[in-house]
Structure formats: structure tokens, C-alpha cells
């Protein structure tokens, strides 16, 4: 019983020793086979396959992570969702969509991508059970380094011929033989390998990237990747905004912005543009210039001092500010030029923004003012698009009248901009006691709404009348105020209400001066007729007259009271004999007895009683 376990243990030891010996023999045979010189043809095949042995075979190349614009396919859709990564090369060979063998449809680089940044990392080494048994080291820190070198980039036409009229492509940083890009780990990929595209016309071209992978353990291998680049011309992916206004979209400058900024311009000290792209655009450092010496312009922001004189524009918006320095009043045209980066030697694609800069104050352009009549229920336009309507300008003074009297080809324009000579266009009648000015801004005024500050000034003849402001425009910009009826809709209308109080007969010019912050003041004038207010007899009492009327009324009341009192006393006296007549119906005197005997009859109830004396 005791011998059997001992025998079993001895048998197990013998089997284990046999297994270890067999593994040792296999390993020795493999090492001897590796030491033997390989056939040159077979060695060439293994090299082209990407060095499937050694640390170099663990090289991986791919996009991402967090790649917003991955490669697409013939169907036009991206292979993976935005934000994911795709492996182009691993295990010593390219994946099917990027293979140089041409057996599968190649991946397509979308037209909105001007630069492709590839990640390089060393795949995690698989550790087997045998390595654990024999004490194999799985510590990645002691693994040999892997890198790529000898980078070569070529472009082919779709028919396979080398060179293409559609595309130029190059590595952003040259990688000649001897220089290297070190591979990182999968979580910290090296992204120094960057391919830049220079599209010269619309179409497609095939891009081929060749590298050599090397390692500290003397292993090496070749890397060959291919894909298709689709090209378009223009700025279709670029969007430029100024404040809340779209300046460029779908590669076109918007007509509304262009018309407003070339005719009216801006009087701001700086104009800020916001650039973004639905893709990856590579642009050079923008330039700005002025056509007049009265103002200089410079660029501010991250695009003004880019690294290597070029910048990438993507979905993350980037600000570009044009700052101005005015030397004296006037206006000039500012030209902002944005260029795509190019290395083909051809003229780069340019996006040119040209707008007007005003130095000094000018009239506000996007405001309309109407004079409303409450009596006639109508209104008249007095100010529109930065100019006072003819007939509403401020009255000309002596020297101005003489200057305007001289013949001049620009007399009408000068008169409209300075003062008005002649009868005013509006005369307010005697019956009208109020005048209302309605202020409205157009849709373009929302970008730069007017701010009325300080309060308006009213000029008039105070000997004829007094003018009182009942309601004035708010100092808050019109475009920033919200309507109570429709939340979120800009309130584009305000009012200025005036009340007249006339003192005597006559006429007076009424001039309203509205002060617009950072712009010229607006002067509007008209004539007001007045009639002296007259007292109408019988409709009002003076103080003495009121006292006399009061005393008269009191006297009347007293007299009426006395009359009523006297009348009441007299009525009581007359009623007393009547009551006695009812008690004594008749009295007869006995004349025969000398009148000393009286006979009285008194009715008591229905009976009659006769008294004799």
C-alpha cells in the first residue's frame, strides 16, 4: 500500500522530465534554424511582408483616438463613427483597406480633410504560459524600442501612373533614412507622422506611403500603405462669422454682409471674426492691409502668430481680430486675406474679405424715424438710412445760408448733410398739442444697435411756447431689449413723445437732437403754430364772483327758510276756528229775552245735545 504512491510519484517525475526535454529540443532546433543563413528570395519575401519576426513586427499605425474625420469608403460614408480610431497597419502587414496589394477597395480620404495625422505605437506583447513557467519577463519597460524611418510618399493617378495633376502630397516633416519617429504605446501614440495634401483641381488620386520599421533587437521590416484622396476646390467647409452675422458659408461671402460693410462699414475700434470648418483646413498666416494712410490695421489672436506660419482650422472655432488705429478722421477700405497652405508652387486659394473702416463719427445707418400726427392719424418719415429727409434738417444759420446760396455741383448733398434752407416740410397746427416720433431699426441694426445717450435736447422759442418731453428713447440699445409679447424677439421700436403748451400767438421752430453713442447726433426740425389761450365768459368764475354767488345762494336759502316758518304759524291760527265750528254747529240768541239766553247744539257721535242758558 505504501509502495504504490511512491511509484506513482516517480512516474510523474519521469513524465515531467520527458516533457521538458522535448521542449528544450524544440527550442534548440529553432535556434539552430534561426542561425542558419536564409535563402535570399525567402528573406526578401519576409522583408516585404513587414518583418514578422522580432520587435519590429509589433509596430502599429492608425488614426485616432478621438478622430473626428476618419477615412471614408466608396459609398461616401466613414468607416467608423467620428471619435473612433482605425488601424492601418499591425502584425507586420497593412489592413485590407490600406494594402498596397490592390486586392480590396481602398479607403478614401474625404475632400474636407487637408491634413492627415497618423499615430504610431508598439502593440502589447502577448505572454504565453510557457514563458511564465520558464520565468519569461513580461515587463514592457524592458522591451526594445521600435521606430520608423526612410519615409517616402508618392502620388499616383487613378490609372496607376505615377504623378497626378489632381494632387500634391508630402510629409509635413521630412523623414529621410537615418531620422526616426519613435513609436509610443497604445495609450500614448506618437502623432508626428503627418501627411499634408495640396489639391490643385477636383478629382481623385492614390497616395502611397512607404516606411521602414526598425528596432533595437536588429529586426526590421517594410511598411506600405495606400489610400485614395478625393479633392475639391474652394472653401466649402469653411465658416466665418462676425458677431451673430454669417460672413462666409459654403465657400461664398454673404451678400448682406458684403453690401453693408462696403457701403456703411464700421466705426468700431476692432472687428472680431470667428473661423471654423467642417473638416480640417490648413491655412497660412492671414494678412491685413489698408488702402489709406489715415488708418492702420493689425491682426490679433492665435492665428496672428501661428507656429510655422500655418494653422489648422476645424470644428473648434478660432477667433481672428482686426484692430484699427486711426490717425485722423476719414474712411479707408480694409482687406483681410486668408490663404490655404500650399507647397506645389501654384498660386494658393485665397479668401478675400474687404470692408470699409470709418475713422471718426458718422451717422447711424440702420434707423428710421417717423413723425406721427395724433390728429390726422398719419406719420411722415423724417430720417432714413443715415440721412435726414429733405425738409426736416436743422435750419441754416447766417453763414451757412450764404455758403449754400453759392452754386455748387454738390450743393444738394451738402445741404442734406449740414442744414436746411427754406420752409420746413412739416407744420404742426394750433390744435395739435402733442407730437410723437417713432424710432425703428432694420434687421441689420441688430448687430450694432444704437444707444441713445445722453437724453434728447429740444430747441424752441420759450417766449411762444413750452415743450415737455413725456417719453424718450432708452439708453439700452434697441437690439438688446426684449419684447414682452414675444420673448426672445428684439424690440426694434421706441418712441419720443413731446407735449406743447402755448403762451401767445406765433410760430416757433422745434428742433429735436437725439444723441447716438459713437455716432453723429440726429437733428430733426419742424414748425409749430401757437394761439394764445383765451378766457371764455360764463364758463368760469373769478374768486370775487364765486364769493358773491355763494352769498347770494345763502341769502336765498335764509329767505326761503323764513317764509316757510311764517307760513307754518299762520296755518295753525286758521285751523283753530274751523275746529270750533265743527263742535258748535249753530248758536241762536233769544232776542225776545234780550239776548241773554243761548241755545247751543253740539254733535257727539251720532247724537245731538242741546244746551240752554
d(CA 123, CA 490): 59
Answer for the pair 369, 381: CB distance below 8 angstroms, yes or no.
yes
The Cβ of residue 284 has, within 10 Å, a number of other Cβ atoms equal to: 19
Tell me the whole-structure pTM to 2 decimals: 0.61
User: What is the maximum span of the chain, computed from C-alpha positions, in angstroms?
Assistant: 203
DSSP run (H or E) holding 558:
helix 543-583
Please enumerate in sequence order all residues whose Cβ is within 8 A of that of 498, keeping only pairs 6 or more positions apart, or say none: 434, 435, 436, 437, 458, 467, 468, 469, 470, 510, 512
Closest CA to 494 of 478, 513, 480: 478
Q: Could you say which DSSP state residue 349 is in?
A: P
Residue 595: left (phi > 0), alpha (psi -120 to 50), or beta? left
Tell me, what DSSP letter sits at residue 519? S
pLDDT < 50 stretches in the chain: 1-4, 17, 19, 23, 25-52, 80-81, 127, 129-130, 132-140, 403, 408-416, 482-490, 578-587, 589-596, 598, 603-604, 613
Q: Cβ–Cβ contacts within 10 Å for residue 187, how many?
A: 7
Give the span between the Cα atoms of 141 and 128, in whole angstroms.
18
Going by their DSSP bridges, the two strands 522-530 and 427-428 should be labelled as parallel
Contact 143, 150 (CB under 8 A): no
With CA atoms as reference, report the closest residue to 434 among 371, 370, 380, 506.
371
Question: CA-CA distance, 358 to 361, in Å (whole number)?
Answer: 8
Cα angle: 550, vertex 552, 554; to 5 degrees: 70
Q: What is the pLDDT of residues 495-535, one digit of tens each?
A: 999 999 999 999 999 999 888 887 888 899 999 999 988 76
- pLDDT (0 to 100) of residue 410: 42
All 3 cell numbers of residue 465? Answer: 411756447
At residue 308, the pLDDT reads 64
Domains, the chain, in order of start with CATH, read 44-127+142-231 (2.60.40.2170), 238-359 (2.60.40.2170), 368-530 (no CATH)
The CB density around residue 345, as the number of other CB atoms within 10 Å, is 8
| Residue with grid cell 241762536, as numbered in its chain | 588
State the DSSP string of 63-120.
--SS-SS--B-TTSSBSS-TT---EEEETTEE-GGG-TT--SPPPEE-TTBSEEEEEE
* Phi, psi for residue 606 in degrees, rounded to 5: -100, 5
In angstroms, rounded to a whole number, what is the distance separating the alpha carbons of residues 395 and 513? 13
Cβ atoms of residues 61 and 225 within 8 Å? yes
Classify residue 188 by burial, with Cβ atoms within 10 Å: 0-12, 13-18, 19+.
exposed
Question: In 3D, which of 506, 499, 437, 427 has the Cα closest to residue 466?
Answer: 499
CA–CA distance, 15 with 595 (Å, rounded to integer): 191
Which pLDDT value is given to residue 195?
Answer: 95
| pLDDT, the chain, mean | 78
Amino acid at each position: 500500500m505504501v509502495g504504490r504512491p511512491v511509484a506513482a510519484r516517480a512516474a510523474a517525475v519521469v513524465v515531467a522530465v520527458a516533457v521538458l526535454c522535448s521542449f528544450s529540443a524544440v527550442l534548440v532546433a529553432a535556434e539552430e534554424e534561426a542561425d542558419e543563413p536564409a535563402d535570399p528570395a525567402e528573406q526578401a519575401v519576409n522583408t516585404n511582408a513587414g518583418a514578422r519576426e522580432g520587435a519590429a513586427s509589433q509596430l502599429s499605425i492608425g488614426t485616432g483616438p478621438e478622430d473626428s474625420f476618419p477615412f471614408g469608403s466608396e459609398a461616401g460614408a466613414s468607416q467608423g463613427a467620428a471619435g473612433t480610431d482605425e488601424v492601418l497597419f499591425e502584425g507586420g502587414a497593412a489592413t485590407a483597406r490600406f494594402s498596397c496589394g490592390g486586392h480590396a477597395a481602398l479607403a478614401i480620404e474625404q475632400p474636407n480633410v487637408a491634413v492627415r495625422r497618423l499615430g504610431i505605437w508598439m502593440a502589447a506583447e502577448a505572454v504565453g504560459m510557457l514563458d511564465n513557467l520558464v520565468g519569461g519577463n513580461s515587463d514592457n519597460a524592458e522591451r526594445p524600442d521600435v521606430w520608423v524611418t526612410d519615409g517616402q510618399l508618392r502620388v499616383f493617378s487613378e490609372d496607376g501612373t505615377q504623378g497626378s495633376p489632381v494632387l500634391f502630397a508630402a510629409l509635413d516633416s521630412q523623414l529621410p533614412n537615418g531620422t526616426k519617429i519613435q513609436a509610443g504605446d497604445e495609450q500614448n501614440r506618437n502623432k508626428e507622422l503627418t501627411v499634408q495634401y495640396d489639391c490643385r483641381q477636383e478629382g481623385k488620386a492614390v497616395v502611397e506611403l512607404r516606411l521602414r520599421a526598425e528596432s533595437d533587437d536588429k529586426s526590421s521590416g517594410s511598411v506600405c500603405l495606400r489610400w485614395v484622396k478625393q479633392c475639391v476646390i474652394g472653401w466649402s467647409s469653411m465658416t466665418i462669422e462676425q458677431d451673430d452675422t454669417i460672413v462666409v458659408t459654403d465657400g461664398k461671402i454673404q451678400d448682406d454682409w458684403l453690401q453693408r460693410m462696403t457701403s456703411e462699414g464700421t466705426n468700431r475700434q476692432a472687428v472680431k471674426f470667428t473661423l471654423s470648418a467642417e473638416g480640417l483646413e490648413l491655412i497660412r498666416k492671414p494678412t491685413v492691409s489698408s488702402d489709406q494712410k489715415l488708418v492702420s490695421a493689425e491682426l490679433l489672436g492665435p492665428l496672428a502668430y501661428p507656429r510655422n506660419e500655418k494653422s489648422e482650422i476645424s470644428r473648434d472655432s478660432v477667433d481672428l481680430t482686426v484692430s484699427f488705429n486711426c490717425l485722423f478722421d476719414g474712411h479707408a477700405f480694409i482687406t483681410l486675406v486668408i490663404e490655404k497652405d500650399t507647397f506645389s508652387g501654384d498660386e494658393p486659394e485665397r479668401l478675400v474679405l474687404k470692408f470699409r473702416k470709418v475713422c471718426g463719427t458718422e451717422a447711424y445707418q440702420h434707423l428710421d424715424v417717423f413723425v406721427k400726427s395724433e390728429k390726422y392719424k398719419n406719420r411722415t418719415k423724417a430720417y432714413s438710412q443715415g440721412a435726414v429727409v429733405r425738409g426736416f434738417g436743422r435750419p441754416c444759420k447766417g453763414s451757412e445760408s450764404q455758403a449754400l446760396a453759392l452754386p455748387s455741383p454738390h450743393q444738394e448733398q451738402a445741404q442734406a448733410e449740414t442744414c436746411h434752407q427754406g420752409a420746413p416740410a412739416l407744420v404742426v397746427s394750433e390744435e395739435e398739442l402733442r407730437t410723437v416720433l417713432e424710432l425703428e431699426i432694420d434687421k441689420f441694426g441688430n448687430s450694432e444697435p444704437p444707444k441713445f445717450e445722453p437724453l434728447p435736447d429740444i430747441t424752441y422759442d420759450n417766449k411762444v411756447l413750452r415743450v415737455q418731453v413725456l417719453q424718450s428713447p432708452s439708453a439700452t440699445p434697441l437690439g438688446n431689449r426684449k419684447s414682452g409679447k414675444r420673448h426672445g424677439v428684439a424690440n426694434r421700436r421706441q418712441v419720443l413723445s413731446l407735449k406743447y403748451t402755448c403762451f401767445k400767438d406765433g410760430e416757433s421752430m422745434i428742433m429735436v437732437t437725439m444723441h447716438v453713442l459713437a455716432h453723429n447726433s440726429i437733428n430733426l426740425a419742424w414748425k409749430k403754430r401757437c394761439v394764445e389761450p383765451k378766457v371764455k365768459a360764463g364758463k368760469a368764475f373769478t374768486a370775487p364772483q364765486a364769493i358773491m354767488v355763494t352769498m347770494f345762494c345763502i341769502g336765498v336759502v335764509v329767505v326761503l327758510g323764513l317764509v316757510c316758518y311764517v307760513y307754518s304759524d299762520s296755518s295753525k291760527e286758521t285751523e283753530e276756528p274751523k275746529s270750533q265750528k265743527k263742535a258748535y254747529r249753530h248758536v241762536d240768541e233769544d232776542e225776545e229775552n234780550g239776548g241773554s239766553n243761548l241755545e247751543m247744539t253740539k254733535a257727539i257721535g251720532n247724537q245731538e245735545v242741546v244746551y240752554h242758558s
